[in-house]
A and B are shown apart, each in its own frame.
Chain A
């Protein structure tokens, strides 16, 4: 069965520091991978997605993610974190034929220190 693991429940970084949020997936074929962000009281906003091609994908708000097939990973990165980035981040996977069925990790809560 497909699964998504986000090993870090909570991460705190200083404003201006770099950020990397980890995501590992379990799936036999090439998955379709996503990162979403959820602020308190808000729905999920899509940050970026990977379907195929270039393994480094750029998203909104200065985020990027790299797909590494050999490590079954899709880690999210940002070179310089802003206080407004404090939120919960979810990695998700989907597959052809089940496009509407996203499988999510449990999320990583990001706190930003001034």
Chain B
């Protein structure tokens, strides 16, 4: 049973560019959350998706957007990249909006130069 998978593992982008990160949830899970973990910090909630809709959003600008597909996989898009967007981006999945138990993927390390 595959856990949460994310791609790519690492990514290097230039300021002003756009990036798309991908996440496949654990089998049987239908709810996906995205987190940003800056160096030396705990993860910060970006948003969560359920039934292909954004259900809750953290304190992140509109440059951060997402999508969920019918197979429950999800994408995180970041436009107009800033140096401060360099971080580990974590995807977490769970079974249903009422569940508290989230399973995290290994993350995508984004470096903006």
CB distance from B75 to the nearest CB of A (A): 17
Partner of B94, one of A36, A43, A100: A100
In whole angstroms, how far apart are the Cα atoms of A44 and B31 in the complex?
Answer: 17
1/0 per residue, CB under 8 A from A, across B27-68: the answer is 000010101000011111100100000011010000000000
- For residue B101, give the distance in angstroms from its CB to the closest CB of chain A: 7
Given known pairs A46-B101, A100-B94, the reply for A90 and B42 (CB within 8 Å) is yes
The yes or no answer to A42 lying at the interface (CB within 8 A) is yes
For this complex, into which size category does the number of interface residues on chain B fall?
20 to 34
B45 near A102: Cβ-Cβ < 8 Å: yes
A112 to B107, CA, bound (A): 25
Shortest B29–chain A CB gap in Å is: 11
Q: How many A-B contacts are there with CB distance less than 8 Å?
A: 64
B103 contact set on A, CB distance < 8 A: 46
Size class of A's contact patch?
Answer: 20 to 34
Chain A residue, CB-CB nearest to B93: A100
Which residues does chain A contribute within 8 Å of B102, judged by CB atoms? 46, 100, 102
| Interface stretch of the complex, out of A61-69, A75-83, A103-111 | A103-111
In the complex, which of the residues B44, B55, B104 contacts A100, with contact meaning CB atoms closer than 8 Å? B55
Within B81-104, the residues touching A (CB, 8 Å) are 90, 92, 94, 97-104
